[in-house]
């Protein structure tokens, strides 16, 4: 049986950063990746715009990944690629992990785990589109995989549902490769993606964006031949009589991402219904001792730079992990927050710098984020605007606040 200190599951940007940090923290580290190549989703994100925060440069996804892969290889960290983790069991001293690859079944023990398993795309069956089940319905990430990794075009003429960033990026990519993108349809009254992507991906190529409209039905037997689009009311319910049939050969979906936590759940890790990732403390340790979470498995990020940052934090903490009593208090957030990460603070382990990630529930202009301890204001930060598509990052020093297990730690948003 193979033994190591820290096992990192997932070889994308979060896992690479976690493995490097764990290695630097002195832990014997093993990274497990199910694909043949490291880099995760960045391999297929060939557009630029990555790394502005971390490297002060505009890199493409593969360029960003390669920087970490080079550091990872130079550090001599062991990686098992084309290896799939099938089971993890918690023991008194750590974890026993079972994985499979072409050499057979492997059993590995570790003292701590970092789950860097990324996220999955929401599919057509999860957005309730009626009709037949023809070929030609792809998630934006699948279309991106076909074009950017396999060199195959999945469509000549398509409709995109959802204005998330991947959908916008794919609208441009498909157009560059000669496909016609008839339009991007968004059920919500506001776009989901970043403003700059609306500009450089849609506006640049004259691709129309239809807000408060959605796809309600697909047509076609073997292959998709058309979709029906409908206007929706403020409750996102289709309005009768507004249906319109559009001929196309594909429907591309960019309708949201969900953190992947199947392994976490099998270990009894508690999830946050808001983030759909594990509830964790400031060291990114989940409710199960020795299990850490980072990147898009923890919560869906919009910048890879913060994925790497959380990976680094989880990896460092995993290397330092020793089983000891926790004294955690909850970080509560008001209804203006879509979510806040971490959700807990371990009073036995408070750092002078705790990094908080959050999103607002709705668009707010000119507002303050206020942190209170026992209703006493301890921090106030002004934001000219907060938008749900844009994740915010806040550093708070909790170490000087004399927090006790009775303290109530609250976050709220106040519009000025």
Partner 1 sequence: MKELICILCPNGCALSVADDQSELAVTGQKCKRGQEFAIAETTNPTRTLCTTVKTSFPEMPVLPVRSATAIPKERIFDVMTEINQILVTEALSSGTPVITNVLGLSIDIITTASLENTH
Q: Which chain residues interact with partner 1 by CB under 8 A? A: 36-37, 43, 46-49, 52, 58, 60, 62-63, 65-66, 81-82, 147-151, 173, 176-177, 194-196, 198-200, 203-204, 302-303, 390
Minimum distance, C-beta of residue 43 to partner 1, in the bound complex (Å): 7
Residue whose CB is less far from partner 1, 149 or 363: 149
Q: In angstroms, give the least distance from the CB of 375 to partner 1.
A: 34
| Shortest CB 309 distance to partner 1, Å | 15
Residue closer to partner 1, measured from CB, 133 or 385:
385
Residue 240 CB, shortest distance to partner 1, in Å, is: 36
- We find the least distance from the C-beta atom of residue 382 to partner 1, in angstroms, to be 14
Kindly tell me which of 58 and 244 has the beta carbon lying closer to partner 1.
58
Residue 301: φ, ψ to 5°: -95, 160
Q: Pseudo-torsion of CA 208, 209, 214, 217, nearest 10°?
A: 20
Between residues 57 and 262, which has the closer beta carbon with respect to partner 1?
57
Nearest to 256 by CA among 189, 187, 164, 388: 164
In the bound complex, what is the minimum distance in angstroms from residue 110's beta carbon to partner 1? 25
In 3D, which of 296, 308, 369 has the Cα closest to residue 53?
308
Which is nearest to 89 in space by CA: 123, 71, 121, 113? 113
Task: Select from 66, 48, 47, 52 the least CA-distant residue to 144.
Answer: 47
CB of 266 to partner 1, least distance (A): 29
Q: Report the SS3 class of residue 164.
A: coil
Alpha carbon 82 to chain centroid, angstroms = 22
Give Cβ neighbours of residue 376 (< 8 Å, ≥ 6 apart): none
Neighbours of 249 (CB within 10 A): 20
Whichever of 168 and 403 has its CB closer to partner 1, that residue is: 168
- Smallest distance, partner 1 to C-beta of residue 264, A: 28
Structure-token pair, residue 54: 């971390």
- CB nearer partner 1, residue 113 or residue 171: 171
β strands within 46-163, DSSP E: 48-50, 59-60, 78-80, 84-90, 95-101, 104-110, 112-115, 119-121, 130-131, 137-139, 157-161
3-state helix/strand/coil string of 304-343 = HHHHHHHHHHHHHHHHCCCCCCCCEEEEEECCCEEEEECC
Of the two residues 147 and 215, which places its CB atom closer to partner 1 in the complex? 147
Contact by Cβ (8 Å): 61, 50: yes
For residue 173, give the 3-state DSSP assignment: helix
The distance of closest approach from Cβ of residue 164 to partner 1 in the complex, given in angstroms and rounded to an integer, is 14
In the complex with partner 1, the residue whose CB is nearer, 368 or 390, is: 390
Q: How many CB atoms lie within 10 A of CB 416?
A: 8
- Of 349 and 390, nearer to partner 1 (C-beta) is 390
């Amino acid at each position: 049986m193979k033994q190591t200190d820290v096992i990192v599951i997932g070889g994308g940007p979060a896992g690479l950063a976690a493995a490097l940090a764990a290695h630097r923290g002195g832990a014997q580290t093993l990274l497990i990746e199910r694909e043949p190549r490291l880099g995760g989703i960045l391999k297929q994100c060939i557009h630029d715009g990555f790394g502005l925060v971390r490297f002060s440069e505009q890199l493409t996804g593969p360029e960003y990944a390669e920087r970490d892969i080079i550091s990872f290889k130079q550090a001599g960290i062991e990686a098992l690629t084309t290896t799939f983790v099938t089971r993890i069991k918690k023991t008194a001293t750590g974890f026993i992990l079972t994985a499979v690859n072409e050499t057979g079944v492997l059993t590995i023990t570790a003292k701590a785990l970092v789950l860097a398993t990324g996220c999955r795309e929401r599919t057509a069956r999860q957005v309730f589109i009626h009709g037949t089940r023809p070929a030609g319905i792809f998630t934006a990430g699948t279309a991106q995989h076909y074009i950017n990794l396999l060199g195959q075009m999945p469509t000549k003429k398509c409709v995109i549902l959802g204005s998330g960033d991947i959908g916008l990026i794919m609208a441009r990519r498909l157009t560059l490769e000669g496909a016609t993108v008839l339009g991007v349809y968004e059920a919500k009254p506001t776009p989901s993606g970043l403003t700059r992507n609306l500009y450089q991906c849609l506006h640049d190529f004259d691709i129309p964006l239809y807000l408060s409209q959605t796809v309600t039905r697909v047509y076609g037997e073997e292959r998709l031949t058309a979709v029906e689009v409908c206007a929706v009311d403020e409750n996102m319910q289709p309005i009768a009589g507004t249906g319109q049939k559009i001929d196309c050969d594909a429907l591309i979906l960019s309708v949201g991402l969900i953190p992947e936590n199947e392994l976490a759940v099998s270990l009894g890790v508690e999830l946050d219904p808001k983030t759909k990732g594990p509830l964790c403390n400031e060291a990114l340790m989940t409710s199960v001792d020795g299990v850490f979470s980072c990147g898009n498995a923890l919560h869906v990020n919009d910048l890879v730079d913060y994925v790497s940052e959380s990976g680094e934090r989880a990896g460092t903490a995993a290397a330092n992990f020793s089983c000891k009593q926790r004294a955690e208090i909850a970080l509560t957030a008001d209804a203006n927050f879509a979510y806040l990460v971490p959700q807990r603070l371990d009073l036995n382990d408070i750092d002078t710098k705790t990094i908080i990630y959050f999103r607002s529930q709705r668009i707010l202009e000119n507002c303050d984020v206020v942190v209170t301890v026992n209703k006493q204001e301890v921090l106030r930060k002004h934001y000219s605007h907060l938008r749900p598509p844009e994740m915010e990052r806040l550093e708070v020093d909790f170490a000087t606040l004399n927090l006790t297990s009775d303290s109530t730690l609250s976050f709220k948003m106040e519009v000025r």
